[in-house]
Amino acid sequence: MIETWNFHRWIEDIRARKAIKRKDFQLIPILVGSLDSSKLEKYGQLLASYLCDSKNLFVISSDFCHWGRRFSYTPHNPADGEIWQYIEKLDHKGMELIEKLNLPDFHTYLRSTDNTICGRYPISLLLATIEQSKKVVPSSQFPKFSMQFVKYAQSSHVKKSNDSSVSYASAVLTVVG
């Protein structure tokens, strides 16, 4: 089993919410590292039919912005208010692109902001899998997906340049209709 705090944290959250109703399910963790566009396409094709099968549950885990000197990431635009407000605006822009299921725009956002989203590759893989599903699954069987962020928090509200913070966001991908 993978020994990361994040893995155990979301497994317990899923169990607590009773998202998995069956007791005899099989859990298959996929640890995703750095992926270029050709690998995203390849793995997206491999996972596409699984994503479109309602028997499967995909869980993608990620922190969002890691802001502070200890993370070597300290951008701030005073026009956006206090530092914590800048971070929130930065994260919400990325979340908006993820909700639109727009992989190219999400990648442009990452390049232009350098936002320190840990799960950029798993998130990108999910978006690529949705794109590849359109090619792999017959259009009559292709589900319409909707992504919605349901929770956002920061570990602290950064007000001074020597403070630090990590953002957390939770989203749900559902099949519509």
Average pLDDT over residues 133-147: 80
pLDDT score recorded for residue 25: 63
Question: Is 44's pLDDT higher than 80?
Answer: yes
Taking the C-alpha atoms of 61, 67, 73 and 74 in order, what is their torsion angle to the nearest 10 degrees?
150
**Residue written as token pair 């990648």:** 107
Name the least confident of 13-27, 109-123, 125-139. Answer: 13-27
Amino acid identity of 45? Q
Name the least confident of 4-18, 64-78, 121-135, 153-167. Answer: 4-18
Cα–Cα distance for residue pair 89/109, rounded to 1 Å = 13
Average pLDDT over residues 29-54: 88
Average pLDDT over residues 50-72: 86
pLDDT score recorded for residue 106: 97
CA angle 101, 102, 105 (to 5 degrees): 150
pLDDT score recorded for residue 1: 40
- Residue 2: which pLDDT band, with cuts at 50, 70 and 90? very low
pLDDT score recorded for residue 8: 62
What is the pTM for the complete model shown? 0.85
Cα–Cα distance for residue pair 102/158, rounded to 1 Å = 29
165-176 and 144-154 beta bridge pairing: antiparallel
CA distance to 21, 67, 92, 123, per residue, from 150 (Å): 21, 22, 12, 16
pLDDT score recorded for residue 35: 92
- Going along the chain from its start, the domains and CATH numbers come out as 5-176 (3.40.830.10)
| DSSP E strand boundaries for the chain | 63-67, 144-154, 165-176
